Chain A
């Protein structure tokens, strides 16, 4: 049996928050290390929360 896997990349520019946390995704006009939280900093014990809209948009592509 032949198995075929597809890896699909899509660039999402209209998300309000980051892919794995509720921090602002828009980095323009912000100082570095402003829109950060324990999740995107990789602080021990934090857990990723997958962005629902990102999944919806990715599956629609």
Chain B
């Protein structure tokens, strides 16, 4: 049994009776117990996984209707709620928070008979890009455990890359799906804002974040998007995609398509030579496949990281104000405390990055400073949206490296917060403008992965996945060494 098979191959193997759901699930759990002590992809593993697997096997044997996932093990980032189980956002503040309801995406997976195999590690409240800010210790990159796996959905990236599960759901506010996808050599899709319901996703910056799939193949991302996308009466920002089938004609190719190479993202100061080479190579590959590639400038891009951190800190400051440890949180006796002092003491459990962003988020939109920071950031956002709308009149897709650099060592970058934030340089544009973007594994250089980012216009996931598929088919990568 190959634990590294794709979701689509898993489904056909189950249908052909090559193995049972229980066999595959127990092998996956065995794999987790073997490698996860080292990798730390998971914060918690689902105790009921085997029981769920048996139930689905019974359904299969008795020819009942079985959901599209046929019991495949899927991991979920620990910022999505599941009724009756812990959702910590990798924070000590939510150490004992047991959600009283289930997020829409997880209900959808459950109704298609997926097995939620466990909850994955992340940067606390999704703030970070290396999992180094997890309050429970970082995850490690399966390609080389001395290196970070990216983040904030780092545990999800590791769990898929290290074959601990078939696929994962992450969330992406400024690159948090695509960055670890690139660093761990898996596919990661950030859908159009509103395509996937955020009901049950613990909010960090509501106006720009999205849940999306992290998978072994582009087809698997299309498969999962088919399940999780669409309108939800519990999330007013969701869009009716009319049950679009993202897998249909996925192999149609890119002949005649126009691809813009984003100048600012391919000659930025922080771009490494290895990543630049891989990107040039990907452009040549697209040309060989019959696409027309040319450079295009997005002049707002150099300002996007500043705008992104201003906007997200503002929203985070507002979203995180609710954590008073009164209705939920962690065990902390209130006796002997006056009301306000209890709350401030309870809130001292936030980690350093979350505190930094709450302080920023209190300052940048405040009276007297908003004009200099928050309103300017909103202007950058509107100008960027205008630029994006303009370039998509001419181009079908935009391409760039997903991250300007390859995975780095633990502790190597975290000391300097501003240059750390600049690692988001290529990813935040898709969040600020709401467009879909995907990271496709493209190369392993010096033993570490490099991903290529493709962006498309709003709701163009279907053609985006076709293009990503075309690129993926030209790539032959080595097996993960762990």
Question: B-contacting residues of A (Cβ < 8 Å)?
Answer: 38, 41-50
Q: How distant is the Cα of A46 from the Cα of B198 in the complex, in angstroms?
A: 9
Q: Is B425 an interface residue (CB 8 A)?
A: no
Q: How distant is the Cα of A41 from the Cα of B328 in the complex, in angstroms?
A: 10
Q: Is B199 an interface residue (CB 8 A)?
A: yes
B99 contacts A45, CB within 8 Å?
yes
Question: A-contacting residues of B (Cβ < 8 Å)?
Answer: 79-81, 87, 89, 94, 97, 99-101, 103, 198-203, 206, 233-236, 322, 327-328
11 A–B contacts from the bound complex (CB under 8 Å)? A38-B101, A43-B100, A44-B94, A44-B322, A44-B328, A45-B203, A46-B200, A47-B198, A47-B236, A48-B236, A49-B236
Q: Which single member of A42, A43, A49 contacts B101 (CB below 8 Å)?
A: A43
Q: Which single member of A38, A41, A45, A50 contacts B236 (CB below 8 Å)?
A: A50
B87 contacts A44, CB within 8 Å?
yes
In the complex, which residue of chain A has the Cβ closest to the Cβ of B89?
A: A44
Q: How distant is the Cα of A47 from the Cα of B201 in the complex, in angstroms?
A: 9
Q: How distant is the Cα of A45 from the Cα of B100 in the complex, in angstroms?
A: 11
Contacts of B327 in A (CB 8 A): 41-43
B328 contacts A45, CB within 8 Å?
no
17 more A-B residue pairs beyond the given contacts A42-B327, A45-B201, A45-B202, with a C-beta to C-beta distance below 8 A: A38-B101, A42-B322, A43-B81, A44-B89, A44-B94, A44-B202, A45-B80, A45-B99, A45-B103, A45-B199, A45-B200, A46-B101, A46-B199, A47-B198, A47-B206, A47-B235, A48-B236
Q: How distant is the Cα of A55 from the Cα of B278 in the complex, in angstroms?
A: 53
In the complex, which residue of chain A has the Cβ closest to the Cβ of B232?
A: A47
In the complex, which residue of chain A has the Cβ closest to the Cβ of B237?
A: A47
A44-B81 contact in complex given A38-B101, A49-B234, C-beta closer than 8 Å: yes
Q: How distant is the Cα of A44 from the Cα of B87 in the complex, in angstroms?
A: 9
In the complex, which residue of chain A has the Cβ closest to the Cβ of B320?
A: A44
In the complex, which residue of chain A has the Cβ closest to the Cβ of B83?
A: A38
Q: How distant is the Cα of A48 from the Cα of B235 in the complex, in angstroms?
A: 8
Chain A interface, DSSP helix/strand/loop, else mixed: loop
Q: How distant is the Cα of A38 from the Cα of B201 in the complex, in angstroms?
A: 12
Q: How distant is the Cα of A15 from the Cα of B314 in the complex, in angstroms?
A: 32
Contacts of A41 in B (CB 8 A): 327
Q: Which single member of B89, B198, B235, B328 contacts A43 (CB below 8 Å)?
A: B328
Q: How distant is the Cα of A9 from the Cα of B94 in the complex, in angstroms?
A: 36
Q: How distant is the Cα of A45 from the Cα of B97 in the complex, in angstroms?
A: 12
In the complex, which residue of chain B has the Cβ closest to the Cβ of A41?
A: B327
Task: Give 8 closest A-B pairs by Cβ, nearest first.
Answer: A44-B202, A45-B200, A45-B81, A45-B202, A38-B101, A42-B322, A47-B235, A47-B199
A47-B234 contact in complex given A41-B327, A42-B327, C-beta closer than 8 Å: yes
Q: How distant is the Cα of A23 from the Cα of B348 in the complex, in angstroms?
A: 33
* Nearest-Cβ distance from residue B205 to partner chain A, whole angstroms: 13
Q: How distant is the Cα of A38 from the Cα of B89 in the complex, in angstroms?
A: 17
* Nearest-Cβ distance from residue B110 to partner chain A, whole angstroms: 16
Q: How distant is the Cα of A48 from the Cα of B328 in the complex, in angstroms?
A: 19
* Nearest-Cβ distance from residue A58 to partner chain B, whole angstroms: 17
Contacts of A50 in B (CB 8 A): 236
In the complex, which residue of chain A has the Cβ closest to the Cβ of B197?
A: A47
In the complex, which residue of chain B has the Cβ closest to the Cβ of A39?
A: B234
Q: How distant is the Cα of A43 from the Cα of B234 in the complex, in angstroms?
A: 14
Contacts of A49 in B (CB 8 A): 233-234, 236
Q: How distant is the Cα of A11 from the Cα of B85 in the complex, in angstroms?
A: 39
Q: How distant is the Cα of A48 from the Cα of B322 in the complex, in angstroms?
A: 14
Contacts of B202 in A (CB 8 A): 44-45
Contacts of A46 in B (CB 8 A): 101, 199-200
In the complex, which residue of chain A has the Cβ closest to the Cβ of B200?
A: A45
In the complex, which residue of chain B has the Cβ closest to the Cβ of A43?
A: B100
Q: How distant is the Cα of A34 from the Cα of B1 in the complex, in angstroms?
A: 51
For A42, A45, A50, the residue with the greatest tally of chain B CB atoms inside 10 Å of its CB is: A45
Q: How distant is the Cα of A47 from the Cα of B200 in the complex, in angstroms?
A: 8
* Nearest-Cβ distance from residue A19 to partner chain B, whole angstroms: 13
Q: How distant is the Cα of A45 from the Cα of B200 in the complex, in angstroms?
A: 4
Contacts of B328 in A (CB 8 A): 43-44
Contacts of B97 in A (CB 8 A): 44
Contacts of A45 in B (CB 8 A): 79-81, 87, 99, 103, 199-203
* Nearest-Cβ distance from residue A22 to partner chain B, whole angstroms: 10
Q: How distant is the Cα of A46 from the Cα of B232 in the complex, in angstroms?
A: 13
For B79, B81, B198, the residue with the greatest tally of chain A CB atoms inside 10 Å of its CB is: B81
Contacts of B203 in A (CB 8 A): 44-45, 47
Contacts of B81 in A (CB 8 A): 43-45
